[in-house]
A = this chain, B = another copy of it.
Amino acid sequence: MQNIDELIEEAQKQGYKITPQRREIFKILVNNDSHPKAEDIYNILKDRMPDVSLATVYNTLNMLKELGMIDAIALFEDDSVRYDPTTKAHDHLYCLHCNRIVDVEKDQDDLGFTEKEISGFQIVKRQVTYYGYCPECRDILKTT
Q: Give the oligomeric copy count.
A: 2
Closest to A117 in B: B132
The digit string for A62-84, where 1 denotes a CB below 8 A from any CB of B, is 00000000001111110001000
Q: Kindly state whether residue A20 has any CB partner on chain B within 8 Å.
A: no
Chain A interface, number of residues (Cβ within 8 angstroms): 33
Contact among B123, B125, B134 with A121 in the assembled complex (CB-CB below 8 Å) = B134
Q: Kindly state whether residue A128 has any CB partner on chain B within 8 Å.
A: yes
Q: Kindly state whether residue A46 has any CB partner on chain B within 8 Å.
A: no
Contacting pair B131 A123 (CB below 8 A) = yes
Q: Kindly state whether residue A104 has any CB partner on chain B within 8 Å.
A: yes
* CB-defined A-B contacts under 8 Å, sample of 19: A74-B74, A76-B81, A95-B121, A96-B124, A104-B119, A116-B130, A118-B130, A118-B132, A120-B134, A121-B130, A121-B134, A121-B135, A122-B132, A124-B131, A126-B128, A126-B130, A127-B128, A127-B129, A128-B128
